[in-house]
Amino acid sequence: MRVAALIVAAGRGTRAGAGLPKQYRPVGGLPLLRHTLSAFSAHPDIDLVLTVIHRDDGDLYEHASSQIAKTLPAIPGGDTRQASVLAGLEALVQHDVTHVLIHDGARPFVSAAVIDGVLHALAHGKDVHGALPALAVTDTLRRAAAGMAGDTLSREGLVRAQTPQGFEFNAILAAHRAAPHDQFTDDVAIAADAGLRVALVAGAEENFKVTEPQDFLRAEQFLAHQRESRTGSGFDVHRFCEGDHVTLCGVRVPHTQGLLGHSDADVGLHALTDALLGTIGEGDIGDHFPPSDPKWKGAASDIFLKHAGKLVEARGGRITNLDITLICEAPKIGPHRDTMRQKIADILHIEKSRVSVKATTTEALGFTGRREGIAAQAIATVSLLLSGGGS
């Protein structure tokens, strides 16, 4: 099997309230769609992921999908969900997939177990062309009559349909191409109209669709139980050399000397980069940007910090607090502290209130006391998904 995940995210989500389209609103500090993409990217049996988006959402999608593996460039969708799915299927023809899992972008918490169930049915089901994850209807069903409770309806044989809905690729492509109208509510309905057999597999309560404003609260509450707090620390030192300024926490500070280093010798950002890498067990700055590599000679250290931040984000992490202490007799840090905090916040796309920059001396003791250089220490706290790789 060569399996593609087709993520449908071209809608406007008007029922979710005003603001950004719901698939790009933050859930757990990350765009909702990022959780969805991460779930399929992390699954070992998914070979590629294609997302169908609204034609106006290119920049939003690029941010939501940054550094997620297996993703193809997004394509624009149509005026209906059905048209968007067909556009996605047509785009997948060139990728020689044998099976496709079609999933709502606004279902961010699909589990590996649900994906496994769909794939197993496709691989081993007898005379099966598709698979539908579903849940039994447990609530009493009644017909509404002019605002009053009407007749009770039987729940026998009723299920709640979810996604991903999986299919043999050629079969569902042909069914979509032959569909007599564009008002089908899901892909199983199109498959059934074409005479395809679709097996039922187990869905999951957490695989809910974010539709109404209150669903965002439910999503946040769900994620709160899926996270742990991680802390990392960093320390860096650079000696003084000839120069007329030093770069500290991304800010150029006038001084009678410079700092010696392979890059711009920004001790604050170097220590902070190591602290962030420590929260996810990704080594230190030298592992990612070796000082022996001439590529990084004189490089601005915001490149290093941005890289560490993206690695944290790719793991489903959210930066909750950063605390940097600069250790030196001179220059004076106080006049530049707020600018440093804002610079770090801008690099990592977090609130300034989550960044603390402090300064201290060593009372004329040690190498910093002798004004031979500057040291920095940093602590980073990150809220990380327990799965360690998206949702």
Query: How far apart are alpha carbons 23 and 59 in whole angstroms?
Result: 13
Residue pair 357/249 in contact (Cβ under 8 Å)? The answer is yes
What are the residues facing 249 on neighbouring strands? none
Radius of gyration (Cα) for the chain, nearest Å?
A: 26
Query: How far is it, in rounded angstroms, from Cα 340 to Cα 249?
Result: 5
Is residue 70 within 8 Å of residue 78, measured between CB atoms? no
Contact assessment for residue 176 and residue 93, using Cβ atoms and an 8 Å cutoff: no
Dihedral, 28, 34, 40, 43 alpha carbons, nearest 10: -60
pLDDT, position 54: 96
Q: What is the pLDDT of residue 326?
A: 98
Cβ burial, residue 324 (10 Å; 0-12/13-18/19+) = buried
**What pLDDT is recorded for position 389?**
40
- Low-confidence stretches of the chain (pLDDT < 50) are 388-391
| Token pair 């044989």: residue | 157
